[in-house]
Amino acid sequence: MVLVPLVAFAFALDFWPSLGRWRPLGLLPLPWLVLGPVVLFSIVVLAFFHERTALRIENEWAEPRRPIHRSANEIED
């Protein structure tokens, strides 16, 4: 999830060098922004969501398991 866009970005810069000269915020060119704060803080956000998901799965497993039972109506549906 993280690696693919980054490697794609590297390849894009290799084939489209002018992307590396584009300065959306004045002095800092795009690659400095992408490889700096944008990617770094995106990884933290991903990690936060990963931790939340991991906790949710752990809690689900910790609950007493309900027997798998479906009514005849549900089967017909």
Contacting positions for another protein (CB under 8 A): 2-3, 6-7, 10-11, 13-14, 17, 20-21, 27, 29, 31-32, 35-37, 39-41, 43-44, 46-48, 50-51, 54-55, 58, 61-62
Residues 6+ apart with CB under 8 A from 21: 29
Q: Which is nearer to another protein, 18 or 73 (CB)?
A: 18
Three-class DSSP category at 7 = helix
Q: How far is the CB of 77 from another protein (least distance, A)?
A: 33
Cβ neighbourhood burial of 47 (10 Å; 0-12, 13-18, 19+): exposed
